[in-house]
Structure 1
């Protein structure tokens, strides 16, 4: 066994004798297995304590850069602000750069400004386009780690992706809609905020794959570029409903759900199944009133904590560990809603 700490420190942490620690470290016989495990645990605990000492009082300045509807940006900001104090003894501060709609050129200018000013890490939700990927790579070359949020930038040098498994989310939505529709014949309206976001593209790929394999009688009508904003999304849905009389179900991969529900109501069209994303304040209201069927949700607070830990690891304040997997998808219905947005 390796000797990362003094034997006397391990003995004190484990509550065993120095001789026992020496036998365990050198692999000698005569030590009970549970004592060996206790010594191993003591070494792990000392490692964790050393990591904590390394971040006592250390300050991390983050930049949260998002192109998303206000309701989702607010949910992410709230989750981040809730988790930052829990990362004590490290101290986190965050600068917010939030916009419902931003050109790629504006995002690049913003990221370049952050690079020149300096930052300990950038948490980024942005389209997967070449100019933004290049801006991310410039940040990383300057020693500023980038964590992609919700929608990935896999061809960039970003440090990590934090968020839901988008393809699995789309597959789950297809399964729920297919099973709920049953023998009822209906087209499904799939709404994306923008085709520029890889995360929503992945959701649609998973959704179409499951429909094709399991529910081939269900056809898809897609609308995009409403950016999850109620007014623009509502206009797109109205137009789609006028063109397609068979639409009677919705998979909202990109938000704007209140406007979508309103469009169906104004045109007196039934919506037998409605699957949305994210348990924000709007969706809680829609679920309680049974105007949408279910929400595919993942724990934003866990995501924000993971993002901060990735930044600390990239900055050498914590030891690197195995890359975290995407967040699990939870199906929230009117019967298992939490008391408040999470």
Structure 2
């Protein structure tokens, strides 16, 4: 296996021993396939981050753990890699643990593994359930600061939450849909990827409260557990449209927007207003083709920089007086898509 990296660097990136890396690189037996794949992934990650290797400064290993659709985890990964070279005086190297769906037990096992092998910081998007909060506490006790992304774990010992005010985002969506639909009686389809994520729950709470207070003519039909995956989400939306003929708008909290648009089209149902979240690849195309109305977006590069600053402060690489700012909600329409 050809590569330009030191065996000890590959071992650190992969979180395995130098001896294990040596066995894999020389094609010797006795190593599990999972470990071989992890070492191969570590080499690819080092190749991506090669531009940082020549920089001087303290070197930090950062673990990014996310449960989210690939289109979103890729957007986060790209944002993190774009920000890392400018995060002086630290040189970051990141390890990625990304999955569209992951059981609670698997997430807990992964967090325990990171705590055992060590890390300078953990960025985490995971469900808000007691088992994961307890696992985060154990990571903290091992000396690793944890920053939650997009969705929070407030009952854990996480260092900070990075992302938008999710209740305000939900209220903003309600205002837009209510104003655009007008006074007619209609239902709004609210889609969540899963009811295990606090961030999505808070968006829905904000949406329901604003709709109830300011637009009593609008009802809500909600679906969840499509995990933002197109096929599963599309099936749930088709069933909801069949059962609720007054659905005229969508607030997509959990993604899978291409399948939602397709479900309306297949049933020949009009969607008068469609509000989504995040400028991922799918939403960019849907905005450009005018198949969704607007996207509530926050700058992921700003979020990644903020999260890394929290880690650097916790590790003593930056003074405590440096405080990163909060994420702002940006309203993106087909007419103001960023370059």
TM-score class, shorter-chain normalisation, is 0.7 to 0.9
Equivalences, count: 285
Cα deviation per residue 1:242-293 (whole Å; 9 max; x = unaligned)?
A: 1100001000000000000000000000000000000011101000111000
2:236 equivalent in structure 1: 236
Structure 2 matches for 1:88-99, cutoff 5 A? Answer: 88-99=88-99
Determine helix, strand or coil for the equivalent of 1:331. Answer: strand
- Point out where structure 1 has 5 or more consecutive residues left out of the alignment: 1-54
Structure 2 matches for 1:50-61, cutoff 5 A? Answer: 57-61=57-61
1:227 equivalent in structure 2: 227
- Does the alignment pair 1:310 with 2:289? no
1:280 equivalent in structure 2: 280
Runs of 4+ with >3 A deviation = 321-326
Determine helix, strand or coil for the equivalent of 2:204. Answer: helix
Cα deviation per residue 1:299-319 (whole Å; 9 max; x = unaligned)?
A: 000000011110011111111
Determine helix, strand or coil for the equivalent of 1:190. Answer: strand
Shift of 1:324: 4.3
Shift of 1:320: 1.3
Structure 2 matches for 1:236-275, cutoff 5 A? Answer: 236-275=236-275
Determine helix, strand or coil for the equivalent of 2:208. Answer: helix
Structure 2 matches for 1:129-148, cutoff 5 A? Answer: 129-148=129-148
Determine helix, strand or coil for the equivalent of 1:207. Answer: helix
Equivalent-residue separation in structure 2 for 1:252 and 1:195 (angstroms)? 13
1:52 equivalent in structure 2: none
Cα deviation per residue 1:200-219 (whole Å; 9 max; x = unaligned)?
A: 00000000010010001100
2:289 equivalent in structure 1: 289
1:32 equivalent in structure 2: none
Structure 2 matches for 1:165-184, cutoff 5 A? Answer: 165-184=165-184
Shift of 1:323: 5.2
Determine helix, strand or coil for the equivalent of 1:61. Answer: strand
Cα deviation per residue 1:176-195 (whole Å; 9 max; x = unaligned)?
A: 00000012321000000000
2:336 equivalent in structure 1: 336
Equivalent-residue separation in structure 1 for 2:101 and 2:73 (angstroms)? 12
Equivalent-residue separation in structure 1 for 2:202 and 2:325 (angstroms)? 16
Equivalent-residue separation in structure 2 for 1:56 and 1:304 (angstroms)? 21
Alignment check: 8 A CA contact 2:148 2:162 kept: yes
1:121 equivalent in structure 2: 121
Determine helix, strand or coil for the equivalent of 1:96. Answer: strand
- Taking structure 2 as the reference length, the TM-score comes to 0.83
Equivalent-residue separation in structure 2 for 1:301 and 1:182 (angstroms)? 36
Equivalent-residue separation in structure 2 for 1:189 and 1:324 (angstroms)? 35
Equivalent-residue separation in structure 2 for 1:83 and 1:333 (angstroms)? 26
Cα deviation per residue 1:83-132 (whole Å; 9 max; x = unaligned)?
A: 00011331000000000000010000000000001000000000000000
Determine helix, strand or coil for the equivalent of 1:219. Answer: strand
Equivalent-residue separation in structure 2 for 1:88 and 1:202 (angstroms)? 34
1:82 equivalent in structure 2: 82
Equivalent-residue separation in structure 1 for 2:101 and 2:160 (angstroms)? 24
Equivalent-residue separation in structure 2 for 1:57 and 1:154 (angstroms)? 33
- How much is the aligned-residue C-alpha RMSD, in angstroms? 1.2
Equivalent-residue separation in structure 2 for 1:142 and 1:204 (angstroms)? 35
Equivalent-residue separation in structure 1 for 2:151 and 2:202 (angstroms)? 9
